[in-house]
Amino acid sequence: MRAFVRTTPGRYGGEEFVVILPQTPKDGAMVAAERFRERMAAHPYPHSESQPLKVVSLSGGVATFPDDGGMEPT
């Protein structure tokens, strides 16, 4: 699968990854996330028919700073 983001995704946990898109507003990040989802869904993964739903799927989310990353005063 060819990369289409400006930065390299990094592994955050076992099956968790993060992609940081500097200078990208939330609507642009949503477009990038949807493109990634579409490409993942269209990719011909070996043995995908053995998956419970017969497809390889993913879930994701988009957050921006500071809108979604504010800290509450302590």
Helix (H) / strand (E) element for 39: namely helix 26-42
The encoded tokens of residue 55 equal 């497809």
What does the alpha-carbon distance between residue 3 and residue 38 come to, in Å, rounded to a whole number? 13
CA distances from 25 to 5, 6, 22 (A): 14, 14, 9
Give strand pairing partners of 17.
11
pLDDT in tens, 20-73: 888 889 999 899 889 988 888 888 888 888 888 887 778 888 988 888 887 666
Give the global pTM.
0.68
Measured in whole angstroms, how far is the alpha carbon of residue 12 from the centre of its chain?
12
